[in-house]
Structure 1
Amino acid sequence: MDYDIAIIGLGPAGATLARLLDSKFNIIALDKKLTCGTDGFNKPCGGLLATDAQRSFIRFNLNLPTDILTNPQIFSVKTYDLQTHLVRNYQRTYINFDRHKFDLWLKSLIPSQVDVRNNTLCKNIERIIDGYQITFEENGQHKVVTAKYVVGADGANSMVRRMRYPNHTLRQYIAIQQWFEEKHPVPFYSCIFDNKSTNCYAWSISKDNHFIFGGAFPKKEANLKFEQLKQKLEQNGFIFGTPVKTEKCPVVYPQRWRDFHVGNERIFLIGEAAGFISASSLEGISYAFDSAEILSNILNRDIKNPNKAYYQRTIKLRLKLLGKIVKAKLITTPILRRLIMKSNISHIANVE
């Protein structure tokens, strides 16, 4: 084998695994993004670090550099139900940050002994004796390497997952996000429910003099539903104007236990590639960290059957995500959401 481990994708899951693996391993890591700047793959993520992800930083003994943080830091989320015209404020302890800079920073923490290949696209993974043959394009050139283990950290549209589980379909939405010049007098976060536009949800965030609006929509009419929802929100005081940029990508939406696939036969799936994302909030960074940490501990200790160990040690993680699926069904069901919001539980009213 050319390498012990091949990591496909260097988002939060893949970059964290590459950083935590022992130096005894010969590792190659393939990533779409470039090494610096704003070029490369930009994911339509709002860029909010949730509490569970913050706990991971405590375990990793890491601190966020200030150039990743963005303004303002807001402590509540304004929740809109367009069916009932209810609006509620709920306290949240998110950290507002630049997602693209965050991903590049996580990559910068990868030890120098890891063979990081940027601007690459994995084309094929084929089983061979004692491992796998990985075919990829790097800067337009066709290349082939071999590795004993393969880790799919390649996100919602994971090629590794599709190769390993060709007959399994995992529900996906299209996440669309647009950036605008901030024109609201008071910056805010929002969570928006409108079952006529999507049975998932939408969001808005104020960030460094920009107003970001995004949402997850059914694939067939994603662009249409996105624009229709913008029109509805303009009637609720949202100010858009001309988009500065638009971002788009698929996002997985787990609905059941068997939507979580962790791999087998020396292939492992971590982060969103494994279906590890909250169905209720689409937050995936904390689960990317958790799954990468679990797998690194298994591989570093040379456990005899690493696939079995990874399956067993992620059961707690999958149970937690199963609870998020139940929560998602509650908050995306109009009558139940209305009851929750009308109860005013945890709502903080603005001072008039």
Structure 2
Amino acid sequence: MDYDIAIIGLGPAGATLARLLNPDLRILALDKKQECGEDGFQKPCGGLLATDAQRSFVRFGVNLPTSVLADPQIFSVKTYDLQTSLIRNYQRTYVNINRHRFDLWLKTLIPANVDVRHDSLCRKIIRQDDGYQIQFTDEGVHHLATAKYVVGADGANSMVRRMLYPEHEIRKYLSIQQWFTDKHPVPFYSCIFDNTVTDCYAWSMSKDGYFIVGGAFPMKNGNQHFENLKTRLLPYSFTFGDVVKTEKCIVLCPSKMSDFRCGQDNAFLIGEAAGFISASSLEGISYAFDSAEILSKIFNDNVSHPNRAYHKNTLKLRLKLFSKIVKAAILTSPFLRKLIMKSNISHVDIITPK
């Protein structure tokens, strides 16, 4: 074998795994993003670090640099139910970040012993008796490499997941978000529910002078649903100008326990490639960190049956994610959502200066 482990994708999951593995392991890491700069592949993402993701940095002993932070930092989420016109404010301790700079920074933490190939693309993975052959292009040049283990950290449209489970279908949405110059007098975050346009949810946020509006929509007619959402937001003082840019990607939304897939045959899935993403908020960075940490310990300890160990050790994580499926079913039910919001549980009144 050329390598012990080949990691496909260096988002939060892949970059964390590469950073935590023992230096005596031979590691190949392929990533679509360039090493630095604003060109090349960028993950469409609102860019908010939830509390669980922040807690991972505490465990890792890593501090977040100011270069990845976005302005402003807001401590409440305004929740809209467009079907009932109910609006509530809930306290949240998200950290507002520039997602692309965040991903590039995570890659800088990977130690020099890891063979990182930036701006590269995995073309094909072939199972062999003693491991895997990986075919990829690096700066336009075709390469072949072999590895004992393959780790899919390649997100919602994971090649590794499709290779391992070609017949399995997981619920998918089309995530669309647009950036506008922010014209609102007071910056804010929002969470938006409207079952007439999506049975998932939508969002908005202020970031570095821009206003971002996005949502997860059914794959069929997703663009039309997004435009309908913007129209329905206008009576709520949402202000849109000329579109600065539009971003789209596929996002997974697990709906049952079997949607969480850990891998098999010396191949592993971490982060969103494994289906490790919250069905209630579509937050996945914390689960990317958690699953990468679990798998790194298995590799570092040279466990004799790593697939079995990874499946066992992620049980708590999978149960937590299943609870998010239950929570999502409640929040996306118009009747139950109305009851919760009308109860004023956890709602914080906003004081308006006279």
SS at match of 1:227: helix
Instruction: Describe the superposition over 1:95-142 as per-residue Cα deviations: whole angstroms up to 9, x where unpaired.
Output: 111100000000010001111011111111111121000111222222
SS at match of 2:204: strand
SS at match of 2:312: helix
Gaps of 5+ in 2: none
Distance 2:164 2:103 in 1: 26
SS at match of 1:286: helix
SS at match of 1:220: coil
Amino acid at match of 1:255: S
Instruction: Give, in angstroms, the shift of residue 143 of structure 1.
Output: 1.4
Distance 1:42 1:32 in 2: 9
Partner of 2:43: 43
Distance 1:110 1:243 in 2: 36
Instruction: Give, in angstroms, the shift of residue 166 of structure 1.
Output: 0.4
Instruction: Give, in angstroms, the shift of residue 39 of structure 1.
Output: 1.1
Instruction: Give, in angstroms, the shift of residue 54 of structure 1.
Output: 0.6
Contact 1:28 1:114 survives alignment (8 Å): yes
Partner of 2:79: 79
Partner of 1:245: 245
Partner of 1:118: 118
Partner of 2:200: 200
Distance 1:257 1:8 in 2: 24
Instruction: Describe the superposition over 1:137-168 as per-residue Cα deviations: whole angstroms up to 9, x where unpaired.
Output: 22222211100000000000101000000010
Partner of 1:167: 167
Partner of 1:139: 139
Gaps of 5+ in 1: none
Partner of 2:293: 293
SS at match of 1:244: strand
Report runs of 4+ in structure 1 exceeding 4 Å deviation.
none
Distance 1:44 1:340 in 2: 31
1:306-321 counterparts in 2 under 5 A?
Answer: 306-321=306-321
Distance 1:87 1:210 in 2: 23
SS at match of 1:235: helix
Partner of 2:254: 254
So what's the TM-score if we normalise by structure 1? 0.99
Instruction: Give, in angstroms, the shift of residue 349 of structure 1.
Output: 1.1
Q: Is 1:60–2:60 an aligned residue pair? A: yes
Partner of 1:337: 337
How large is the RMSD of aligned CA atoms in angstroms?
0.7
Instruction: Describe the superposition over 1:249-301 as per-residue Cα deviations: whole angstroms up to 9, x where unpaired.
Output: 10000000000000011000000000000000000000000000000000000
Distance 1:19 1:308 in 2: 23
How many pairs are equivalent?
Answer: 352
SS at match of 1:55: helix
Instruction: Describe the superposition over 1:165-201 as per-residue Cα deviations: whole angstroms up to 9, x where unpaired.
Output: 0010111101111111010000000000010110000
Amino acid at match of 1:104: L
Amino acid at match of 2:45: C
Instruction: Give, in angstroms, the shift of residue 240 of structure 1.
Output: 1.1
Instruction: Give, in angstroms, the shift of residue 62 of structure 1.
Output: 0.4
SS at match of 1:215: strand
SS at match of 2:264: coil
